[in-house]
Every structure is written in structure tokens, then in C-alpha cells.
Amino acid sequence: MSAPPAAAIAAAKGALAKALRVVVLTGAGVSAESGIPTFRGPGGLWKQFRAEDLATPIAFGRDPRLVWEWYAWRREEVAQCRPNPAHLALARWMGSRPGVTLVSQNVDDLHERAAGEVARDAEAAARAAPIRLHGSLFHDRCARCDHRARGGAVDATSVATLPHCPACGGLMRPDVVWFGEMLPVRAVEAAFAAAGEAEACLVVGTTGAVYPAAGVAHTAKAAGAAVIIVDPGATELDAIADFRLQGKAGEVVPLLLG
């Protein structure tokens, strides 16, 4: 797929340059070129696996070993992946100007790793870190007392070998948001506050099929923001796009933000 016309990129670039405040919303597509499957695309996770068996609290209650086996596999897969040019361009751009808030639906840690690679110092890396709407693949949370911890290797041979809570002894679970669960309140508040005052909204690699996350783009649009969408395929947010850049994130985002 060839890159969008230079004029289209220049126009979108102009909208970003004149915006004092920008909200960026990313989805699985931004990590596709790093080798992480999306959810609904060809070969997507929900094409290969049944979400209802793996990504709901009921599934975890029914068979925590199976759920952990799957998340342990995803952790290993993601740990072998690297940030791609889209992650790096976003992190560099966020380090080079104020007023950008990054909101991600992704549970991988590639945005943070990119920030760590390109940021000049820890403060700049922290500024380029995303607001996580759907949690993190590399953190655990106690299913009983909510104690949180950095996740490690998981032995999913039996329930007894699964991670247990150091505080209450309960079963730990991946600290990701499963279907039917509430999103972390502070993350939602921060994301929608940024969207409500944005003058531009950059959407990269999401179908925009899942709410409330997709509401970030709609809220920015309603606040008068110019909406820029980067995606090789059609998305459910296309109707609100002011600039629609058809292409892969790893190719288009560096052109747009470089």
C-alpha cells in the first residue's frame, strides 16, 4: 500500500502544528508492524481465539489456568517485539512539543519502550507515556483485594502454580480490562478531559468499535478538534474524520510527525 498523497499529509500536518492541545488515540493497529496481531483484522486475536473463553471475568472464574496460559503466551510474544517507526515517531514528537496527550487501548508496552528509547530524560519519557484505558499486559492485579504488582513469568500448569497475591493470598489476574468490566476511572477521566479541550485529535490503528475508548475521538470532534485518522482499512470513526490518511502507521506516522 503506497503512502497517502504528500498534499494530504501536509494538510494534516498543518492542522497538528496549529493545535495547542492534541489528543492521540491508538489501537492495536499501531503495533501491527511490530508483529503483534490486531483483534479484528485478518489473523486477529478474536479470529483465532474466543474472547468469551479468555477475556471475561466469568472465563477467569471458570478456568483461570486457561486464561493465564493465554496471557503468559501473549506476554512472551510481546516481550520479543520492538517499537516500530510509528511508536518512535510519536514518542519523539511528544518529547519535542507540549500539549499532547497519548491515550492507548493497547495493553502492550511498546509506547513506553519507544519513549524510553528516544526521550532525552526520564521526565520526557514520562510525558510520552500513554494513558492506558485497557490496562497492561505486564502487570498483575489480585482478583480478591486488588493488590497490584509488576507481572513476571507465569507457571500455568495448575491453579496452585499460578501467581497468588502477596497481601491476601488470593489469585492474581492480568491487570487488563476484560469485556463487561469498567475501565480505570482516573484513566477515563484524564482521557476525556484531554479530548474535551483538544484542537486536534490523531487516531491511529483502531476500528473505533469499542466504547468508551472510541468516545475519545467523538468527544474531541464535539469540542471542535480537527480529527486525523491513520489506518489502512475502513474504521467506524471515518465519518468524523477531517483528514483521512489511508496507510500503515509505521509508514504514515513518521511522515506526519517527522
**Residues with catalytic roles:** 134
Give the SS3 label for residue 86: helix
End-to-end Cα separation, the chain, in angstroms:
20
Least distance (Å) between residue 185 CB and ligand APR: 17
Task: Answer whether 225's CB lies under 8 Å from 23's CB.
Answer: yes
Which residue has cell 501491527? 32
Give the SS3 label for residue 160: helix
The nearer residue to ligand APR, 122 or 179, going by C-beta atoms, is 179
The nearer residue to ligand APR, 21 or 221, going by C-beta atoms, is 221
The nearer residue to ligand APR, 129 or 210, going by C-beta atoms, is 210
What residue spans of 2-153 are helical by DSSP H?
6-17, 45-48, 51-54, 57-62, 64-79, 85-96, 110-118, 122-127
Which residue has cell 493465554? 70
Least distance (Å) between residue 205 CB and ligand APR: 3
Least distance (Å) between residue 62 CB and ligand APR: 19
Which residue of the chain is nearest ligand APR when measured via CB?
29
Least distance (Å) between residue 203 CB and ligand APR: 10
CA gap 174, 60 in Å, rounded: 10
* Residues forming the site for ligand APR (CB under 6 A): 27-29, 32-33, 38-41, 44, 105, 134, 205-207, 209-210, 231-233, 235, 248-249
The nearer residue to ligand APR, 165 or 255, going by C-beta atoms, is 255
